[in-house]
Structure 1
Amino acid sequence: MSEIQAAKDLVRAYYAALDGAEVAEIPEVIGRFATPSYEWLGYHPFDALTGAAEVGRTFWQPLRRSLGRIQRRLDVFMAGHNRLPGTQGVWVCSMGHLMGLFDAPWLGIAPTGRMAFLRYGEFHLIEDGKIARTAMYFDIPHLMMQSGLAPFPPQTAAHLVQPGPQTHDGVMFGPQAPQDGDRTQAAIDAMIGDLGQWASGLPLEEELARSWHDDMIWWGPAGIGATYTIERYAKQHAGPFRAGFRDRSATGHICRIAEGAYGGFFGWPNFTAVPTGGFMSMPATDRPGEFRVIDIYRRAGDKLAENWVFIDLLHFWKQQGVDVLARMQAVSAAGKARSEP
């Protein structure tokens, strides 16, 4: 318990220092909290970065120059030992939004001069009082939508500025009862066992009901959207997703943790699959594509009630020959050119 609490305190101190730093100071601030071999796994186009200086220069400084007066608005904060068999180490997870004033372009996305929200999920591995590894996924397509762009065809569900847990108890700065985390991990593991290979043999809604509450909420990424209740989730995401792929690989995770009523995992990638056409209104391909995913869950009783999902759709579709980021950069540049005198 003390090891987990120390890891939480370290990450809270890191966030305070990082969020309060001047832009020029960011690489040095990261370096104070990270190991010399620090590894950072991010959403496309950042992908894998190494070292505090590279992470600061490549990701954080450009973002902070674009989104001014950033606030970190936490919805979930938890920590725990990696529960994957054969692994060890303490990980700290946070989820929420980075909110700021979108006053300068970022990744070629035109600014709005208004508030903007970058939804994120993040895992930090703590070793010897330092951050050794980070996985940070975000929702760049949603930021594009806030800028007036349409990165994907119309989605099957709804996408909003995603709220935090209905119960408002996801930010766990203090210690939690270990048995509660065990119950959460058991619920997540049961869900993975049912859904992980799409081979339970049950009708989809019956399969979902084994591990999800009927009034579940699936908070999906832009391009897919959020959906409410088992019936709508099956209709608006799970069913179309399964119908749109073949040759799904086994599920592979780097980390699984649970604390209190919350838990989550990530992979790099979580699995691969080949599009058969129709998903997100995209055509079939013969190319296996990687799904890099962060999933964060809230348990109620012995079943799952909410799920926040981060999928690197820019990376997946680029593997299929569709460079969504480049397309949106071109649209933003054309719009800027038309608006100039």
Structure 2
Amino acid sequence: MKKIQLQHAKQLVRSFYNDLDMAEVAEIPAMMARHCSPNLLWRGYHPFDEISGPEAVAQAFWQPLRGALTRMQRRLDVFMAGENYYSDPGGIWVCSMGHLMGLFDRPWLNIAPTGKLVFLRYCAFHRVEGEQITETAMYFDIPHLMMQAGLHPFPPQTASHQVQPGPQTHDGVMFDAQDSAAGEQTLDLIQRMVTDLGTWQGALPLEEELARTWHDDMLWWGPAGIGATYTIERYAKQHSGPFRAGFTERSKTQHICRIGEGNFGGFFGWPNFTAVPSGGFMGMPATGKPGEFRVIDIYRRDGDKLAENWVFIDLLHFWKQQGVDILERMRQVGSPAMSTFQVPQGDLNT
């Protein structure tokens, strides 16, 4: 019965995507109203945040984006479904991850168009109840698109800027039913990894801690501003180590949804956790202000360890909490040549 429910939810979301991607821009509000609950709760990255109702989501997000990216395509890398690990809110969720690709022909969020091909990397979780989508978390890497448009919203990354590929194994798009035991194994491994992460400053050295749940040749596909990195050693040096050293007072991890299917799994929170930048972050000085981290993580399991991780972090929201509005600074400085990200001392105290 559970497999039937999962497959039904997958098919509903696939139909929604097909209709959304094929609709004319003017048709999108009505199309979304057919597939989504009138009380749809939609969570997106800054500056969109929480939006209620399908027509409002269409008008605020989808219509401007579709108007900016001519002949937009959805390019899936992961598609999966599962029953929420958490009973509150519970339910069946469908997750997709990949890129929205198009010709950047008109401005979007005051980002000047290039007339060239661009990719907006995204990940979305949809809660399906009956014949409708009732809740969506859709996270997208706006700074990644900004960098493709020739802007420099952040200092040089500690890792590598990439247009990120899908799974090395090319098996993340799971339209067909999967072995339920495999999904349970993936969820269990993710749970063990999150438990280790929750210790923050554990008894083991960082690389030894990571080796408990990660393959040595792990791939970590991080957001623009941090970048991608490869192997436990480089991940520890190029992201995890500096990140842990840069923050204190990290709250406990809070997730709204966590699912797994086959060798893939993932989660999101709103926020996942809060922490205080006390040692500097992304080349910027410490602010001492608590900041929220809205994050989606998608994982690929290989045997008894994790092999790949795609990470979405709302850095625009985080930095605005620190007194820096990246989008507004870009608008003021202009395009395409935006100056290197610097925070005047006064901004740190606003």
TM-score tier by shorter-chain length is: over 0.9
Listed as ranges, the gaps of 5+ residues in structure 2 are 339-350
Aligned residue identity for 2:58: G
| Partner residue of 2:207 out of 198, 205, 216 | 205
Distance 1:232 1:2 in 2: 42
Aligned residue identity for 1:291: F
Listed as ranges, the gaps of 5+ residues in structure 1 are 337-341
Q: 1:106 to 1:129 in 2, by over 3 A?
A: same
Distance 2:302 2:337 in 1: 47
Corresponding residue number in structure 1 for 2:160: 158
Q: Deviations for 1:269-325, whole angstroms, at most 9, x for unmatched residues?
A: 000000013210111112110000000000000100000000000000000001111
Distance 1:46 1:88 in 2: 25
| Partner residue of 1:61 out of 60, 63, 73 | 63
Corresponding residue number in structure 1 for 2:21: 19
Aligned residue identity for 2:145: L
- Residue aligned with 1:283, SS: coil
Distance 1:58 1:138 in 2: 15
| Partner residue of 2:7 out of 2, 5, 8 | 5
1:128 to partner: Cα distance: 1.7
- Residue aligned with 1:109, SS: coil
Corresponding residue number in structure 2 for 1:258: 260
| Partner residue of 1:329 out of 331, 335, 339 | 331
Distance 1:65 1:86 in 2: 37
2:291 counterpart of 1:289: yes
Corresponding residue number in structure 1 for 2:341: none
Corresponding residue number in structure 2 for 1:339: none
Distance 2:322 2:337 in 1: 27
Q: TM-score, normalised by structure 1?
A: 0.97
| Partner residue of 2:141 out of 139, 142, 147 | 139
2:216 counterpart of 1:214: yes
Aligned residues: 336
1:171 to partner: Cα distance: 0.1
Q: 1:87 to 1:55 in 2, by over 3 A?
A: closer
Distance 1:260 1:234 in 2: 27
Q: TM-score, normalised by structure 2?
A: 0.94
1:85 to partner: Cα distance: 5.0
1:34 to partner: Cα distance: 0.4
| Partner residue of 1:35 out of 34, 37, 43 | 37
1:84 to partner: Cα distance: 2.1
Judge conservation of contact 1:108–1:333 (CA < 8 Å) in 2.
no
Q: 1:214 to 1:67 in 2, by over 3 A?
A: same
More displaced 10-residue stretch of structure 1: 159-168 or 189-198: 189-198
| Partner residue of 1:125 out of 118, 124, 127 | 127
Judge conservation of contact 1:108–1:332 (CA < 8 Å) in 2.
no
- Residue aligned with 2:144, SS: helix
Distance 2:87 2:57 in 1: 30
Distance 1:84 1:307 in 2: 21
